[in-house]
Amino acid sequence: MARPSGFKTEAAWATYCRLYDEAIALSPVPVQQSDIETAFGSTHVLTVGDRSKPPLIALHAMGFSSTMWLPLLPTLTASSQVLMLDAVGGVNKSVATGVMSSPARVVAWIDEALDALHFGRVALVGASIGGWMATTYALARPDRVARLALVSPAGIVGSLRVTWLVTMTLKTRFPPTAAKAQWMLDRLVMEKTRPQLRTDPWRPITEQFIFGMPNFRSNLREPRPGMRCNVTPLAASGVPLLALIPRDETGHDGPMMAQRYRQRLPQAQVQLVADSNHLMFIDRTDVVTDQLQKFLDEE
């Protein structure tokens, strides 16, 4: 495929799309799929909810797609129209023609997406590296961000643990396989949560990750987890912020990250969530949905 990043074969692309659509079919609420054009390529969008409600843009974790938000939709759509963007260059249905190789390009991509969707100001929710993208955008365009919610943010105020990063790299690459992707996924949730990865509604969502990771050719210039940024300007921006930090992170020091958010953004709502690893939206769906609902309902 003639693009900077993408699936290695047409057959792999077809299999991935089948798993993606299988997850959509299990959605608890109707989902509309569409595509918008940007300078970085075609961006796939999932749209859900009442158009008369305030818009919420959701940005997914690395290795996942917008389908990761589907089990949370009954909560998110209670107060918002939800639009989930497949990040260009990621393992999903978007098709890249350019590379989001810098924070400025991430901002440009989100700008173009919002313009194409005819939104001036939106709430943002991001998970993992999606949280970094959302934060990067809020720092550059606070006038376009009504609220900012971060679920298991990657990097931003702290780096990945070096030993974890080295272990993950050595055990999941050279070459990547589905079994290695499964091993990685198992270590991003609490041990007691692992059976949920293999049962609906999470099964087709996690199968996308397990199949997609070894069958996708990433561009090394794309953003990576662990990228840091200076968040202190958000304190003066007036953008309300919620940060949900997993206490039992394998890749980050959860308590330290929570402390840094509280120190640098004293106006933010910061919660350290017990019994949760990096994929907190699976480990503690109850807490994530409850906290997001309260935050999005605030005046």
Q: How far apart are CA 83 and CA 93, in angstroms?
A: 15
pLDDT winner (highest mean) among 55-64, 213-222, 249-258:
55-64
The structural domains of the chain, with segments of one domain joined by +, span 6-297
Residue 290: predicted pLDDT: 96
Q: How far apart are CA 208 and CA 92, in angstroms?
A: 8
For residues 76-101, one letter each, b for 16 or more C-beta atoms within 10 angstroms of the residue's C-beta and e for the rest, the string is: bbebbbbbbbbbbbbbbbbbbebbbb
Cis check for the bond before 4: say yes or no (omega within 30 of 0). Answer: no
Residue 59: predicted pLDDT: 98
Q: Which residue has the higher pLDDT, 284 or 221?
A: 284
DSSP letter (8 states) at residue 54: P
- Average pLDDT of the residues of the chain: 92
Residues 6+ apart with CB under 8 A from 275: 190, 247, 248, 283, 284
Q: How far apart are CA 149 and CA 151, in angstroms?
A: 7
pLDDT band at 3 (very low <50, low <70, confident <90, very high): very low
Q: Which residues pair with 125 in a beta bridge?
A: 58, 149
Cis check for the bond before 74: say yes or no (omega within 30 of 0). Answer: no
CA distances to 58, 81, 82, 184, 242 from 29, in Å: 16, 12, 11, 30, 25
3-state class of 130 per DSSP?
Answer: helix
Class of domain 6-297: alpha beta
Is the pLDDT at 1 greater than 80? The verdict is no
Range with the poorest average pLDDT among 8-22, 29-43, 163-177, 198-212: 163-177
Is the pLDDT at 299 greater than 70? The verdict is no
Model pLDDT for residues 27-72, shown as the tens digit of each residue: 999 999 999 999 999 999 999 999 999 999 999 999 999 999 999 9
For residue 211 the two structure tokens come to: 């199949």
Model pLDDT for residues 120-176, shown as the tens digit of each residue: 999 999 999 999 999 999 999 999 999 999 999 988 998 878 888 888 888 887 888
Is the pLDDT at 25 greater than 80? The verdict is yes
DSSP letter (8 states) at residue 161: P
Place of tokens 């992170």: 249
Is the pLDDT at 277 greater than 90? The verdict is yes
Residue 221: predicted pLDDT: 66
Name the residue type at position 228: R
Question: Across residues 82-90, what is the average pLDDT?
Answer: 96
Backbone angles phi, psi at 277, to 5 degrees: -100, -165
Q: How far apart are CA 66 and CA 43, in angstroms?
A: 11
Residues 6+ apart with CB under 8 A from 108: 39, 40
Model pLDDT for residues 105-117, shown as the tens digit of each residue: 999 999 999 999 9
